Structure 1
Amino acid sequence: MSKERISTEAGFAEAFATAAPGSLTEGRIRVGSFASGAEIVLPFLILKGAKPGPCLWISGQVHGNEINGIWAALDFMEGLDPAELSGSVVLSSTANPLALDARRKTAPQDEQDLDQTFPGNANGLVSDQMSAALFAAAADCADVLISMHTMNNLFYSDPYAVYKLHPDSGIDEAKLFSMIRHFHPVVACRMNVAPGAGELPGNIPGALDYQMLARGKPAFMIELGSGSETDEGCVALGVAGLHGVAAEMGMIAAPQRKPAEKLRRVARRTHVMTREGGLFRTANRPAMKVEANRPLGTICSITGRPMAEPAMAQDVLIIGIRKDPVVHTGDRIAFVALEWTDVSV
């Protein structure tokens, strides 16, 4: 970012409270340290508008190999004029610096999925302590939180949204859709957090967005393409979406573009695994519908012998499809919607 910035050693709460109108403040939330003495910190930026207003918090990543959201947030903040901004934009570039430095999804120190550890535990494993430090700051000052993600780097994926509904939040689907629509996602997936729902293993209610909803704060996820890369098209879409949310919140005068008039709401989705190993090949891409019993792709042996044509017994809509051709038994080859409808927003 080319904007002039003020560096601070203050804690986040003090830095946020004392940031001058029209300023850009850079700081760090201290978590702990390594044996060498090197500190474990969560970097943040605070862009304080010249006029009072709400706080939009952007979490650039919680998984260390998901990069596009960081770029989108930085570019969004670079394009804002503090003199015309009402309120504050906060960016926590990474909630998981240990995973980022290791170029991987999870911190190698404990292998926890950080987005299953919120609101965190200040006396827990290092991932629990990182999530506790971030959540303590965000829960106090954010009015809206957007958690940026990507699909992993083995898949083709177009930007899409994921949202959850908390029974005690007072925030309904329409409220979330009013913001999600600005990203023009190929689908908006409602994620079931009930125990045993089967979509993903682990503590799904421990997601950052769900725990913010539990505090009565609108929050959702944007999956901005594939991981371990910079996709400028996805970044630009993310920037436009963030502008739209800021306009929706009354922080800026107008969005960069008109929001979507319809969203494709996905009520149920699943991963498709392969029973055979080999080389996977497909012409299918995200947002394509594949009819029942039609192959999602083909798998051949390393010598070219046909092995399998994985298919589903019902029509599916592709959310992500494998681009890494090397597959083993049990590997994911596709992420598909099983139930979807178009809704006006």
Structure 2
Amino acid sequence: MNERVPQSKPIAVSIGERGTISAGTTASGCEISIPYLVKRGQGDGPCLWVNAAVHGDEINGVFAAQRFFDRLDPSVMTGSVVVTPVANVLAFDERRKTALIDSIDMDQSFPGRANGFATERAAAALFDRFGKSADVVINIHTLGTPFDAAPYAVYKVHPEARLSEAELLAHIACFEPTVACRMPVANASGELPGNIGGALDYQSLSLGAIAFMVELGGGGRLEEDRVEHGVAGLMRLAGKVGILTASPDPTARKIRRVTRRAHRLANAGGLFEPKVLPGTAVNAGGSIGSIRNLFGDVIEDIAVEVDSWVIAVRRDPVVHSGDRVAFLATEWSDVDVPA
């Protein structure tokens, strides 16, 4: 049990409650409703908030969050668990990362704006309801729909966080990730552009919570092994923070911490054929795949310039110039994980 987890912050829901949070209405008058589930244990303890589908096409997290919740027995719990299985309901309905209504990334919008764009209003409604009362926040993602990925974690370091980086990694270890990527906030070099500081986990860190992202495979589909990997990690984490009295420890005592990563882009358009799998290393000069034109000729071989770790590789073969074909770590080290 982590002694740093404070005892039971108040949460504005009752035992075993399920319901929705209103975030506005659509043009046709339908309410924009974010679903939530809550279970309370037999005594005071920490509040764990599991959030999924902050991007609408990231499906594995929805199933992992639901299954974790279903398998919790309140009679052997202390504290509470909140699950929001689909945070971005508008984008979820559209099977897109972001909603067409404003194309804003919800996970760059926290703590949100109650009088802002539609996505910002939803982020504000969600964060106001649960973000201010959660002691532990897990934001479950996947890579985008075109990609395959092995389970990994992403975390940020906040100057006001109450946990050290080593302590945060010890909680991340519950998910037995292939890598744990330390993501820069001020200058996300090599990452997608945007307001990284608006991520749910970063804003939760600012309030003193234990918070990070878990990436469970690829988007737009159900992957049973990735889902169950996530459920097992959530169970271990619930044990570590004291919500469950018994939970198996992670087998790994080291984490591969990534401190630099970047997308690899196609120069030529055509059909991409990968030569590597997620969760594997490629030596400098090695090929991660090739691109053929529509006549079947290989027109580009994509080699890495430095030793690289394959975080994700594209499964959708149709690419244009500038499309992402892989997500690579180019700087990492193996670090000991404290018990």
Same fold at TM > 0.5: yes
Q: Is the 8 A contact 2:50 2:140 kept in 1?
A: yes
Are 1:179 and 2:179 matched, yes or no?
no
Residue identity opposite 2:237 in structure 1:
V
Identity in percent: 47
Q: Deviations over 1:174-231 (max 9, x none)?
A: 2211211111111000000113634220111110000111111110000001101111
In structure 2, what is the equivalent of residue 19 of structure 1?
Answer: 14
The answer as to 2:225 corresponding to 1:233 is: yes
Matches of 1:258 and 1:201, distance apart in 2: 33
Structure 2 counterpart of 1:112:
104
After superposition, give the CA deviation of every residue in 1:22-67 in whole Å (9 maximum; x if it has no partner): xx21111111112222101111001111222110000022000101
In the alignment, the residues of structure 1 paired with residue 262 and residue 303 of structure 2 have an alpha-carbon distance, to the nearest angstrom, of 13
Q: Work out the CA distance in 2 between the residues paired with 1:236 and 1:305.
A: 40
- Equivalent runs, 1:171-320 vs 2, <5 Å: 171-195=163-187, 197-256=189-248, 258-320=250-312
* CA positional deviation for 1:18: 5.4
Structure 1 residues 282 and 270: CA distance shift in structure 2, 3 A: same
Q: 3-state SS of the aligned residue for 1:279?
A: strand
TM-score when normalising by structure 1: 0.92
Query: 2:58 matched to 1:63?
Result: no
Contact 1:51 1:83 in 2 (8 A): no
Q: Which residue of 2 aligns with 1:5?
A: none
**More divergent stretch after superposition (214-223 vs 164-173):** 164-173
Distance 1:256-1:239 versus aligned 2 partners, 3 A rule: farther
Gaps of 5+ in 2: 1-8
Judge which range, 195-204 or 215-224, deviates more: 195-204
TM-score with structure 2 length normalisation?
0.94
Matched, 1:153 2:145: yes
Would you say 1:321 and 2:313 are equivalent positions?
yes
The aligned counterpart of 1:163 is 155
Unaligned segments of structure 1, at least 5 residues: 1-12
Specify the code of the residue in structure 1 equivalent to 2:48.
L
**2 CA distance for matches of 1:258 and 1:113?**
32
Which moved further from structure 2: 154-163 or 287-296?
287-296
Name the counterpart of 1:47.
39
Amino acid at match of 1:165: V
Contact 1:316 1:336 in 2 (8 A): yes
**What displacement does 1:257 show?**
5.2
RMSD of the TM alignment (CA)?
A: 1.5
Counterpart-to-counterpart distance in 1, 2:327 and 2:300: 18
Counterpart pick for 2:30 among 29, 38, 49:
38
Amino acid in structure 2 at the alignment position of 1:149: H
Query: Partners in 1 of 2:19 and 2:162 — Cα distance?
Result: 33
Q: Is 2:325 the partner of 1:333?
A: yes
